[in-house]
Chains A and B, each alone.
Chain A
Amino acid sequence: MSSTLKPYLNAVRTTLDAAMCLGNFNSQVVERHIKPEVEVKTSKELLLTPAVIARNEKEKVLIEASYNSIRVSIAVKQADEIEEILCQKFMRFMMMRAENFVILRRKPMKGYDISFLITNFHTEQMLKNKLVDFVIHFMEEIDKEISEMKLSVNARARIVAEEFLKRF
């Protein structure tokens, strides 16, 4: 299974590298405003073709880019009910702290679990290659964290049942 992980992450990394070339662009619709074009989608000429990189049906990454912003949406692997719940809780937890996270979007795109919105201001303040590193690191760590949490739930259930039943 993990034989597809490396090429998947490499593909995501190169696409992000290419897409994250952002520059300032004033809004053409409202005077003196600067909006992330990938969110408002008012001017078609500023939008690039969205790309989906899929590892399998359940795991994929959607990258929509525009002149001054890029939106990355990630669908995380959820094999069963408990993983679904853990993933939901974890994503909700982080999205509530989106202000701290700066590049996180408060609501994920439809069909995906979590979304990032990176604008030219972010790339001006932060190093671009480190941003890409972060997204890739994030994708790896989520999977690890969810399976660890699931293991801990199962271990706890086993201990609880054992303690109870061995008293009889």
Chain B
Amino acid sequence: MILLQTENRIINDTLLYKFENAAAGNKHETTEMNIADFDSVTYRLSNPEGDKTHLLLSISLKFWEQLQEHGALDVLQRVYGSYLQSSAEDGYNVSLLFDLNSLPADVKALATKAALLKRNCFASVFETFFEAQAKGLSMKQAVIPYRDDETMYVEAKKDRVTVIFSTIFRDESDVTFGKVFMQEFKEGRRRNQTGPQVLYCHGNPPQELEGHNAAVGDNIGYVTFVLFPRHTAPNARDNTIDLIHMFRNYLHYHIKCSKAYMHQRMRAKTSEFLKVLNRARPEEKNKEKKTFTGKTFQSR
């Protein structure tokens, strides 16, 4: 699996199971699940007030305020329509209510749509900027601290939209691996003319972030995506949003996979060395000592 899935697998599978159960007319079970996702996002799937015929799915994002500023609620209203609750559950930002007795015919699509809740929250920011660029306006930068020490900056100019991710590498060797990976991303354009332009700055923020108090440090990297109209056009928009918002997790996931692979190789090589070393030990000859009459010596 090279690409990370956009939807939340747990939610997708659980909801599908519940919906199919309900559709088959089986007895409803009580649900109470706390689910975590990338970027410190938590979900809660429960029965509101013990009502087993309804399922309440709530999401909590740390950076909900910033998303709201960019019209997240409008997008969610558009996608989820009647399922969206006007006031979210306590301690969460958005809630969706599903009535198990009145489900649409295609439950699979509904489950998938619900599993994309996090992605749709993000989508609002991107869509606003894509619209602005399509109209030829330039917009002020959006600053979204989507993780504790990491921020995402989105800006629209006349002919492009730039998305800048700041990412922190907690481990020393991650920095080097990150550099190797980003080098390949930078050159990816040569092979794929369709892709966006990717730039990478290590340590210091790029020029566009001047005046933003962006973090500086040896273990911090800034990745800039330059999205051209062909990526932000209405037909390509959804795909672009899917890929871009998962980028940081994608990168770190593959860095960790590389390290795991290295570890596997080192383990294999070490045992090979041990085998070679053991060749240096002469074989023990297990001589049985016998007397002339045939009695065997026993060692105590």
Check A130/B185 contact, CB under 8 A, given A86-B262, A159-B2.
no
Number of interface residues of B (CB under 8 A): 48
Bound Cα distance from A90 to B262, whole angstroms: 9
**For residues 15 through 71 of chain A, which have their beta carbon under 8 Å from a beta carbon of chain B?**
none
> Per-position contact with A for B242-256: 1 when CB-CB < 8 Å, else 0?
010001001000100
> Per-position contact with B for A115-132: 1 when CB-CB < 8 Å, else 0?
000000000011100110
Bound Cα distance from A90 to B181, whole angstroms: 21
What chain A residues lie within 8 Å of B247 (beta carbons)?
Answer: 164
**For residues 90 through 110 of chain B, which have their beta carbon under 8 Å from a beta carbon of chain A?**
none
Q: A163, B184: Cβ atoms under 8 Å?
A: no
Give, as a whole number of angstroms, the nearest-CB distance from B277 to chain A.
Answer: 5
Q: B266, A93: Cβ atoms under 8 Å?
A: yes
Bound Cα distance from A166 to B185, whole angstroms: 11
Which of B173, B231, B257, B261 is A168 in contact with, Cβ under 8 Å?
A: B231
Which of B3, B263, B274, B277 is A167 in contact with, Cβ under 8 Å?
A: B3
Check A166/B192 contact, CB under 8 A, given A149-B265, A152-B261.
yes
> Per-position contact with A for B159-203: 1 when CB-CB < 8 Å, else 0?
000000000000011001101110111011101101110100000
Bound Cα distance from A81 to B277, whole angstroms: 30
Check A141/B177 contact, CB under 8 A, given A89-B262, A153-B258.
no
Q: A167, B243: Cβ atoms under 8 Å?
A: yes
Q: A166, B176: Cβ atoms under 8 Å?
A: no
> Per-position contact with A for B221-249: 1 when CB-CB < 8 Å, else 0?
00000000001000010011001000100
Q: Majority SS of interface residues in chain B? A: helix
Number of interface residues of A (CB under 8 A): 44
What chain A residues lie within 8 Å of B181 (beta carbons)?
Answer: 157, 160-161
Hey, which bits of chain B sit against chain A, CB under 8 A? Answer: 2-3, 172-173, 176-177, 179-181, 183-185, 187-189, 191-192, 194-196, 198, 231, 236, 239-240, 243, 247, 250, 254, 257-258, 261-263, 265-267, 269-270, 272-274, 276-277, 279-282
Q: Majority SS of interface residues in chain A? A: helix
Hey, which bits of chain A sit against chain B, CB under 8 A? Answer: 81-82, 84-86, 88-90, 93-94, 97, 100-103, 125-127, 130-131, 133-134, 137-138, 141, 145, 148-149, 152-154, 156-168
What chain B residues lie within 8 Å of A165 (beta carbons)?
Answer: 185, 188-189, 191-192, 194-196, 198
Q: B270, A97: Cβ atoms under 8 Å?
A: yes
Q: B177, A82: Cβ atoms under 8 Å?
A: yes
Q: B180, A157: Cβ atoms under 8 Å?
A: yes
What chain A residues lie within 8 Å of B279 (beta carbons)?
Answer: 130, 134
Bound Cα distance from A22 to B192, whole angstroms: 62
Which of A97, A130, A168 is B243 in contact with, Cβ under 8 Å?
A: A168
Bound Cα distance from A31 to B270, whole angstroms: 38
Nearest-neighbor residue (CB-CB) of B178 within chain A = A157
Q: A156, B240: Cβ atoms under 8 Å?
A: no
Which of A131, A141, A166 is B194 in contact with, Cβ under 8 Å?
A: A166
